[in-house]
Structure 1
Amino acid sequence: MNMTESRILATSPMLLILLSLVIASLFDTTAGQIGVCYGMLGDPKPNPSDVVALYKQRNIQRMRIYDPNPETLTALRGSNIELILDVPKSDLQRIASSQTEADKWVNDNVKSYDGVRFRYINVGNEVKPSEQAARFLFPAMQNIQKAVSEAGLGIKISTSIEMGATVDTYPPSRGRFKDEYINLLQPVIDFLVSKQSPLLVNIYPYFSYMLDTNIPLDYALLKPNAPVVSDGPYSYKNLFDANLDSVYAALEKSGGGSLEIVVSESGWPTEGGTGTSVENAKTYVNNLIQHVKNGTPRKPGKAIETYIFAMFDENQKTPDYEKFWGMFLPNQQPKYDVNFD
Structure 2
Amino acid sequence: MSMDWRMVLLLWAITFCGFLTRSLPDEWYDDPGLFKFYAVLVMRAAFRFNFLGPPNTSQGKKKMATALLLLLLLLGPSEAIPVHNHRYHYYPIGVNYGQLGNNLPVPLKSVELIRQLKLGRVKIYDANPSILSALANTSVKVTVMVPNQQIPSVASSQSFADEWVKSNVTAYYPFTRIRTVLIGNEILSDFSIRQSTWPKLVPAMKNIHRSLAKLGLHRKIKVSTPHALLNVLQGYVFPPSNGTFRDDIAEPIIRPMLEFLHSTNSPFFVDAYPFFTWEFNRATVPINFALFNGSGTPYRDPGNGLVYDNLLDIQLDSITAAMAKLGHESVKLGLAETGWPTKGGIDERGANFYNAALYNRRLAKKLATKPPLGTPKRPHQQIPAFIFALFNENLKPGPVTERNWGLFAIADNGSTAIQKYEIDLTGRLSDGDYKPMALPPPEPLPGTAKIWCVANQSASTSQLQGGIDFACGPGGVNCSLITDPGQPCFLPNTTISHASIVFNAYYFLQRTNGGSCVFNGAAFLTSSDPSVLHASVKELH
Range with bigger deviation, 331-340 or 121-130? 121-130
Counterpart code for 1:139: P
Distance 1:253 1:32, change over 3 A: farther
Q: Considering Cα pairs closer than 8 Å and 6+ residues apart, tell me whether 1 or 2 has the greater RCO.
A: 1
Q: Where do residues 102-121 of structure 1 align in structure 2 (5 Å cutoff)?
A: 102-114=161-173, 115-121=175-181
Range with bigger deviation, 207-216 or 48-57? 207-216
After TM superposition, give the deviation of residue 196 of structure 1 in Å: 1.2
Q: Is the 8 A contact 2:91 2:119 kept in 1?
A: no
Match of 1:148 among 208, 212, 222: 212
After TM superposition, give the deviation of residue 32 of structure 1 in Å: 7.9
Distance 1:336 1:221, change over 3 A: same
Q: Is the 8 A contact 1:32 1:303 kept in 2?
A: no
The equivalent residue for 2:282 is 213
Q: Does 1:157 align with 2:216?
A: no
Show structure 1 runs of 4+ deviating over 3 A.
Answer: none
Matched residues in 1 for 2:91 and 2:103: separation?
Answer: 32
Distance 1:32 1:261, change over 3 A: farther
The equivalent residue for 1:91 is 150
After TM superposition, give the deviation of residue 58 of structure 1 in Å: 1.7
The equivalent residue for 1:19 is none
Counterpart code for 1:315: N
Match of 1:322 among 386, 402, 406: 402
1:123-177 deviation per Cα after TM superposition (whole angstroms, max 9, x unaligned):
1111117323212111111111111111222311111111121135211111111
Paired residue secondary structure (1:332): strand
The equivalent residue for 2:6 is none
Paired residue secondary structure (1:169): coil
The equivalent residue for 1:66 is 125
Matched residues in 2 for 1:56 and 1:63: separation?
Answer: 10
After TM superposition, give the deviation of residue 31 of structure 1 in Å: 9.2
The equivalent residue for 1:262 is 334
Paired residue secondary structure (1:262): strand
Counterpart code for 1:279: Y
Q: Is the 8 A contact 1:120 1:156 kept in 2?
A: yes
After TM superposition, give the deviation of residue 216 of structure 1 in Å: 1.1
Range with bigger deviation, 234-243 or 159-168? 159-168
Counterpart code for 2:185: N
After TM superposition, give the deviation of residue 211 of structure 1 in Å: 2.0
The equivalent residue for 2:248 is 180
1:306-340 deviation per Cα after TM superposition (whole angstroms, max 9, x unaligned):
11000000110122221100011232221111111
The equivalent residue for 1:282 is 357
After TM superposition, give the deviation of residue 234 of structure 1 in Å: 1.1
Matched residues in 1 for 2:90 and 2:270: separation?
Answer: 15
Larger radius of gyration: 2
Counterpart code for 2:352: S
Matched residues in 2 for 1:227 and 1:41: separation?
Answer: 40
Matched residues in 2 for 1:32 and 1:281: separation?
Answer: 21
Q: Is the 8 A contact 2:292 2:310 kept in 1?
A: yes
Matched residues in 2 for 1:61 and 1:31: separation?
Answer: 7
Q: Where do residues 234-313 of structure 1 align in structure 2 (5 Å cutoff)?
A: 234-272=306-344, 273-292=348-367, 293=369, 294-313=373-392
Normalized against structure 2, the TM-score is what? Answer: 0.57
The equivalent residue for 1:233 is 305
The equivalent residue for 2:261 is 192
Matched residues in 1 for 2:281 and 2:197: separation?
Answer: 30
The equivalent residue for 2:466 is none
The equivalent residue for 2:479 is none
Matched residues in 1 for 2:139 and 2:366: separation?
Answer: 25
Q: Is the 8 A contact 1:34 1:60 kept in 2?
A: yes
Q: Is the 8 A contact 1:190 1:255 kept in 2?
A: no
Distance 1:32 1:80, change over 3 A: closer
Q: Give the aligned CA root-mean-square deviation in angstroms.
A: 2.0
Counterpart code for 1:119: R
Matched residues in 1 for 2:214 and 2:379: separation?
Answer: 37
Q: Percent identity?
A: 36
- What count of residue pairs does the alignment treat as equivalent? 318
